[in-house]
Amino acid sequence: MTHELRIAVATDPGLVREHNEDSVYVRADLQAVADGMGGHEHGEVASALAVNVLAGWEGDLGPAVAEIARRLDAETPQGAGTTLTAIRWEGLAFQLAHIGDSRAYVLREGELRQISHDHTMVQALVDAGRMTPEEALVHPRRAYVLRALQSGNSHDPDLSWHQAKVEDRYLLCSDGLTDYTDLGDVHEVLLSTEDGTEAAWQLIALANGNGGPDNITCVVIDVVRKKWWQR
């Protein structure tokens, strides 16, 4: 293999909430962010369950998400739920599993592009041509999620395959970043900050600088070429 992944993680409760309902999991071939829903205790339990399932999982993410849904039904109170955005790698190819309003982005050749699709009310209105993307950014119910993994009411995730390139940078994040931070500022940090850990914490600082009303989690994944002596 002529490349490797450099993975950095940062998570913070923000400036308003006492508890962090986000959960995050990373290993060499799998990275995931889950944002808990349903109140402090329920949200923490649901997001932690999601990443715990992934921690013991090998192979296709579709059955993994189905197992998370099954265990939410069996083990958590009604209404406990979580978003999930996860990447599983096979060489430079990766499978993306996504449900909810956490997000996945790729920074490639200077351009930042979202590769997940929000499952929110405002995104549905944008897709239907009834709202502009600019209006969606400031809508008071922009965090209202239409699809999630939830005890008693889980939905199917979006599953897709993508091809990475060496020098790509990927960002997985909860909506505590994207709902309260200008995307141009996110782009600038990812573009200008070489160290992934520093970039992740700078992104959290951006959200906290705007009031930090939600939990914030960022995973930065750099696809880098191995040096000749590492091969």
pLDDT digits (tens, 9 = 90+) for 35-79: 999 765 789 999 999 999 999 999 999 999 999 999 999 999 888
Backbone angles phi, psi at 178, to 5 degrees: -75, -25
Ranges 94-98, 154-158, 172-176: which has the least confidence: 154-158
Query: Percent of the chain, pLDDT > 70?
Result: 97
Q: Where are the beta strands (DSSP E) in the chain?
A: 3-12, 22-27, 30-37, 81-82, 84-90, 93-99, 103-108, 111-114, 149-150, 158-163, 169-173, 216-225
- Spell out the domains of the chain, with CATH numbers in brackets: 3-230 (3.60.40.10)
* Higher local confidence (pLDDT), 175 or 133: 175
User: In angstroms, rounded to a whole number, what is the distance separating the alpha carbons of residues 219 and 171?
Assistant: 6
Tell which residue, 163, 161, 174, 165, has the closest CA to residue 203.
174
Q: Give pTM, 2 decimals.
A: 0.95
Instruction: Please compute, for residue 33, the number of CA atoms within 13 A of its CA located in the half-sphere on the CB side.
Output: 31
In tens, the pLDDT along 64-75 reads 999 999 999 999
Rounded average pLDDT over 109-132: 93
